[in-house]
Structure 1
Amino acid sequence: MMRTPTLVMDLSAVEEAYRRFTAVMPSIAVHYAMKCNPHGEVLATLLSLGCRFEIASAPELDRLRTLGVDPSTVLYSNPVKPGTHIRAAYAAGVRCFAFDSLEEATKLGALAPGSNATVRLNAGATRSGVPSEGKFGVDPDTAVRLLVQARSLGLRPFGVAFHVGSQMLLPQAWQPPLVAVRHMMQRLADKGIFLQMVDLGGGFPARYGVTPPPLESYAAVIERGLAALPYPVRAVVEPGRAIAAEAGTLTATVIGTAFRGGKRWIHLDVGAFNGLMESLETGNELRFPVSDSRGSAIRDRFTLTGPTCDSQDTILFDVELSADLSTGDLVHIGTTGAYTTVYASTFNGFEMPTVRCVSGSRPVGAAID
């Protein structure tokens, strides 16, 4: 019998998602955002396909190096980094660093001299499915000024990056920041600075209840924006969720049922604090596809909640499952390959999900946490 909670990652689905990006955006380099799922076999699969990577810390780089990733191909996109991480990444061979403040540029000039500096632009106020913007990024005027200052600090003004927010369902969200980039490039050219890279970030969505716009719609907006730039640049994207999410299925065991306030409750051995934190982050708006081991024809509506004593630990409301679901049955939660194990804790002493990789239906090696 399967030990739960268990996250099963289908590596063939990871491959399919990556190949989709390279087919639809053939002129744009894909750098997988490893923060969403850094499982060793996921990373190895992407590496074997020619994928590059984006990191937010030196330990993430260490994990990539154990797989044989060339650090010189890695983007360090976290705009504010500990000095020790900058020093370690630079010593390993990373040469492309993001920043969005003069203090960070000063740190980079001292700890990563001569590196390629990419300024983080605020992408605007478009709301994404998993709101994640607001912490980083500056307006275009400040971005231009920072790149000029970076040059004076011994850095190479290399590019501009932005992120429209996670689970972005509006392809047009990429248009305003690309217009801003165009104007920045024109102004920087007058100062003798010619950018070489535009980092379009992540934000590409996965299927949670509804089917998002096709990737082709995003590519069309991006390609128009890139074509309008005053001169050609290298373009990169940093997908995470769109690569890994749909490859994952999280299986949990029903540990109890209850009838409260006119509603039926199903308590699982996985919840927000040990694998499904995004249910809290989104106010339970992410509609993970759910099925169960009974598969009964008679259905009912349930609230799915986790095992802890915290009342916030609830995953989904009004979920249709088998009416006779009971303790010991299994519940399968789809589109959980991204931001599950990385957010998981042992709060209240409950276990984090184990990870098992398959290719289609075939197991692949031993699980690597």
Structure 2
Amino acid sequence: MFDDKRLLAALAAASEDQIVFDLQGIGERHASLKRELPGVAVRFAMKACPVDAVVEFLARQGAGFDAASPGEIATALGAGAPPGSVHYGNTVKSDQHILDAFRLGVRDFATDSVEDVRAIATHAPGARVFCRLATTGNGALWGLSGKSGCSGPEAVRVAETARAMGLRFSGLSVHVGSQQMTTEAWTGAFDSLAEVLIALKQKGILLDHVNLGGGLPALGYLDEQGRPLIPPLDRIFETIRAGMGRLRQAAGARLAFVIEPGRYLVADHGAIRAHVARLSDRELLDGRRRRWLYLSCGKFNGLYEMDRIQYRLEFPAHRDGEYGPAIVAGPSCDSDDAAGHGRYPARVPLGVASGDPVWILSSGAYTTSYTTLGFNGFSPLPYTVAPAGDTDGRKRPTRVFTTVTATPF
């Protein structure tokens, strides 16, 4: 049951399509994470929600930032984050981008190859680097394996190269996969980290931190067939706490930890007010009939991840009445603009009419960052922010919701 009353109130008040972010809900999730993992530095994965108001709010809450480009670094610094709380977490960097980040004051760089280390040494001399270990991504909706990360022996080679080139090899990192649904993935990641920590210690290379990366799951998604995705969050946190203790023992020295939540912080505290374009019923080539619900928002203007998940939908004008199955799709003419590639229907009210509002819940992650600039002429949605009151010690606006026109991120 969706119980974010602030979001529901904002959705009910909206007369036009928009994205709504609940800052207080995001702040509560951030505070909860700090309680679950005391002493762990939180660096928000900006790609999940590069919205100025959200970034500024998290900076006031003391969060740091995982940035993947000089553009994201500039956004974080502009939001008030000190350079020391921002790291360049992308292992893919051009020479110019390394130089740009260094000039902006960033001194912590992710890496996973000797070639990248050499470039960092040239364009960010004396910087700190941490090496990302590869993971299988098993158990995650988006595995993230292959493009980033290296083996344990390769990480040792990277560390030795960094040390030889005058860089401070400061840490290791992992990413267990986005929307990770298992504890086993975390256990496997800690196995890999412990093995490399021991190998590095034998070579006299001592680290000061381990970056646990992203992967903490959102709680409000449905799978592509419409079944609730229920991650074992309590057991995930237990596994992480136990793993950190194990790594501290393996390191034989003081070891700090960093974590990079993205969707975990923002997904469940963002929602979209959209509307129905059409409910239609068509006969297919094989003689079967198929019902389609077309919405004003789809894959290209907010719901990019609809190929792997279904979003929870509410139809405020149709609390009662008959429901039936329909494929949910966006407004464009692209065949990919459909939930589950058009294979799995959702239950929708059969009495909906064009223009009726629909609320798309748990859609606060990647909604703004993945949207196109206007595919088929459907523009990015504006967003609305629900201020978080005076929890940060600053006087907040008396107006409850502030609408801002979305900019291309």
Partner Cα separation in structure 2 for residue 215 and residue 21 of structure 1: 11
Match of 1:341 among 368, 371, 375: 368
Partner Cα separation in structure 2 for residue 84 and residue 264 of structure 1: 51
Task: Name which of structure 1's ranges 88-97 and 105-114 shifts more when overlaid on structure 2.
Answer: 88-97
Letter in 2 for 1:349: G
**Counterparts of residues 100-179 of structure 1 (less than 5 Å):** 100-179=112-191
Task: Name which of structure 1's ranges 354-363 and 104-113 shifts more when overlaid on structure 2.
Answer: 354-363
Instruction: Label 1:105 to 1:166 Cα distance change in 2 as closer, same or farther (>3 A).
Output: same
Partner Cα separation in structure 1 for residue 268 and residue 139 of structure 2: 22
**Counterparts of residues 73-88 of structure 1 (less than 5 Å):** 73-88=85-100
Task: Name which of structure 1's ranges 74-83 and 214-223 shifts more when overlaid on structure 2.
Answer: 214-223
> What residue number does 1:208 align with?
221
Match of 2:332 among 293, 305, 308: 308
Matched, 1:199 2:211: yes
Q: When the two structures are superposed, what TM-score results if normalisation uses the length of structure 1? A: 0.94
Give a deviation string over 1:81-129, Cα, whole Å, max 9, x none. Answer: 1222211211121111011111100000001111111011002341311
Matched, 1:250 2:260: no
Letter in 1 for 2:31: R
> What residue number does 1:218 align with?
236
What secondary structure, in the 3-state scheme, does the structure 2 residue paired with 1:44 have?
Answer: helix
Matched, 1:287 2:298: no
**Counterparts of residues 41-120 of structure 1 (less than 5 Å):** 41-120=53-132
Task: Name which of structure 1's ranges 124-133 and 270-279 shifts more when overlaid on structure 2.
Answer: 124-133
Q: When the two structures are superposed, what TM-score results if normalisation uses the length of structure 2? A: 0.85
* Alignment check: 8 A CA contact 1:39 1:368 kept: no
What secondary structure, in the 3-state scheme, does the structure 1 residue paired with 2:404 have?
Answer: coil
Matched, 1:355 2:355: no
What secondary structure, in the 3-state scheme, does the structure 1 residue paired with 2:157 have?
Answer: helix
Partner Cα separation in structure 2 for residue 42 and residue 125 of structure 1: 28
* Alignment check: 8 A CA contact 1:24 1:215 kept: no
Partner Cα separation in structure 1 for residue 322 and residue 300 of structure 2: 31
Give a deviation string over 1:122-171, Cα, whole Å, max 9, x none. Answer: 02341311333221111101111111111111111110111011000102
Letter in 2 for 1:271: G
Partner Cα separation in structure 1 for residue 215 and residue 207 of structure 2: 23
Q: Once the 2 structures are TM-superposed, how far is the Cα of residue 321 of structure 1 from its aligned partner?
A: 2.2
* Alignment check: 8 A CA contact 1:124 1:177 kept: no
> What residue number does 1:11 align with?
23
Q: Once the 2 structures are TM-superposed, how far is the Cα of residue 45 of structure 1 from its aligned partner?
A: 1.4
Q: Once the 2 structures are TM-superposed, how far is the Cα of residue 366 of structure 1 from its aligned partner?
A: 4.0
What secondary structure, in the 3-state scheme, does the structure 2 residue paired with 1:216 have?
Answer: helix
Letter in 2 for 1:96: D
What secondary structure, in the 3-state scheme, does the structure 2 residue paired with 1:9 have?
Answer: strand
Task: Name which of structure 1's ranges 187-196 and 210-219 shifts more when overlaid on structure 2.
Answer: 210-219
Letter in 1 for 2:264: A
Letter in 1 for 2:133: L
Instruction: Label 1:360 to 1:300 Cα distance change in 2 as closer, same or farther (>3 A).
Output: farther
Task: Name which of structure 1's ranges 315-324 and 286-295 shifts more when overlaid on structure 2.
Answer: 315-324
Partner Cα separation in structure 1 for residue 310 and residue 402 of structure 2: 31
Give a deviation string over 1:211-269, Cα, whole Å, max 9, x none. Answer: 53353322211122221222331111100000000011112111222102422211111
Q: Once the 2 structures are TM-superposed, how far is the Cα of residue 2 of structure 1 from its aligned partner?
A: 4.2
Letter in 2 for 1:299: Y
Give a deviation string over 1:197-221, Cα, whole Å, max 9, x none. Answer: 1111011111213253353322211
Match of 1:320 among 347, 351, 357: 347
5+ residue gaps, structure 2, are 1-12, 223-227, 284-288, 390-398
Partner Cα separation in structure 2 for residue 221 and residue 48 of structure 1: 29
Letter in 1 for 2:242: R
What secondary structure, in the 3-state scheme, does the structure 1 residue paired with 2:368 have?
Answer: coil
5+ residue gaps, structure 1, are none
What secondary structure, in the 3-state scheme, does the structure 1 residue paired with 2:195 have?
Answer: helix
How many residue pairs get matched?
A: 365
What secondary structure, in the 3-state scheme, does the structure 2 residue paired with 1:59 have?
Answer: helix
* Alignment check: 8 A CA contact 2:139 2:181 kept: no
Partner Cα separation in structure 2 for residue 92 and residue 150 of structure 1: 22
* Alignment check: 8 A CA contact 2:56 2:80 kept: no
* Alignment check: 8 A CA contact 1:356 1:363 kept: no
Match of 1:30 among 28, 42, 57: 42
Partner Cα separation in structure 2 for residue 26 and residue 214 of structure 1: 19
Partner Cα separation in structure 1 for residue 271 and residue 403 of structure 2: 17
Q: Once the 2 structures are TM-superposed, how far is the Cα of residue 342 of structure 1 from its aligned partner?
A: 0.6
Q: Once the 2 structures are TM-superposed, how far is the Cα of residue 273 of structure 1 from its aligned partner?
A: 1.2
Q: Percent identity?
A: 33
What secondary structure, in the 3-state scheme, does the structure 2 residue paired with 1:22 have?
Answer: helix
Letter in 2 for 1:183: E
Q: Once the 2 structures are TM-superposed, how far is the Cα of residue 181 of structure 1 from its aligned partner?
A: 1.3
* Alignment check: 8 A CA contact 1:32 1:240 kept: yes
